[in-house]
Amino acid sequence: MPETSSAPAAETRLRDHVVRLGAEHPPIDVSTVDFTVKQPTVLLARFGGVLDYMARTELEVERNVLELATLLPDPPEIDRVFYSEVWKPQETVHGLILDELQVRLGRPPANADLTTVSAKIRVVGALAHLPAFQDVVRMLYYLTGMATERSALLAYHRLYDGVVELGETAVAETVITPIRRQEPGHYAFYQMSARALWEQMSAWQHWLVRHLRTISFAPVGANTDDQRADVGDMMIALGLDKREDAETFAEQIGRVERDLLWAHQRGLLVPPYIAGAFRDAVELARHRAAA
């Protein structure tokens, strides 16, 4: 009886994971950060845009939590504990540190939207009052979380290498290292949750998740063409813009999603809407630069 024996085990694992994350990863203490930069102009020219994009999306978790309250009127307790007591406090400090760094380098602070819950989200939230639909919405939330955390982690790895290459060791070791250490735990939460929920869902819910995901996938924080171009600029700055690199990036982001949602499509490397979204972002960035 897999449903009765594995579900409680998965729940316990998830709860242990969240408790451990909270205990082992308190928000970074900003006083431990060394903002010393040897060549501000060089760092700014090479990674200024990346810092801005990462700072904005990290700070916007504040709005994401408001969105979640709308999208999931009745979330499982463990979700609420995770996003309000573990995830949000950690991500907010990531945003504050990155923003402080870019301001010290001479850039304006990130233009983060912390309060506007879009009409689209309010409509979905209204539908989510139906329990069967709320599960669909919750699944979309986990999938979004997985893609977001994975892309953040990959971006921080690239950024770390680039910053080390420039000899900016203080930024590498006291800004990026502690931040990127906290991202895998977030990813693991979404992955465990997505796997457990997918197993419990019915065929029509699976169909609806696939459909909604296909029409709504977007990189994190990319709701306008300008923001999509910012994602493209980030990929260019991190050396992820060449076709093969962009494909690998998308593949790593979409692997678990492919295995869950698209298991029936044998040989699919990456869901096309994920690969396409990142490809479009690079295109938009190139067009904007040329214009």
Residues near Fe ion (CB under 5 A): 58, 91, 94, 149, 183, 186
Residue 212 Cβ, how far from Fe ion at the closest point, in Å?
Answer: 23
Q: Are 66 and 115 in contact (CB under 8 A)?
A: yes
Instruction: CB nearer to Fe ion: give 134 or 182.
Output: 182
Residue 183 Cβ, how far from Fe ion at the closest point, in Å?
Answer: 4
Spatial separation of the C-alpha atoms in residues 287 and 291, rounded to whole Å? 6
Neighbours of 140 (CB within 10 A): 19
Instruction: CB nearer to Fe ion: give 58 or 230.
Output: 58
Residue 243 Cβ, how far from Fe ion at the closest point, in Å?
Answer: 28
Residue 102 Cβ, how far from Fe ion at the closest point, in Å?
Answer: 15
Instruction: CB nearer to Fe ion: give 91 or 168.
Output: 91
Instruction: CB nearer to Fe ion: give 58 or 79.
Output: 58
Q: How far, CA to CA in Å, does 29 sit from each of 81, 96, 135, 179, 257?
A: 21, 11, 36, 11, 34
Residue 171 Cβ, how far from Fe ion at the closest point, in Å?
Answer: 16
Instruction: CB nearer to Fe ion: give 190 or 217.
Output: 190
| Backbone Cα Rg of the chain | 19
Show contacts of 74-83: CB within 8 Å, 24+ apart.
74/131, 74/134, 75/138, 78/11, 78/14, 78/15, 78/18, 79/138, 79/193, 81/18, 82/18, 82/21, 82/189
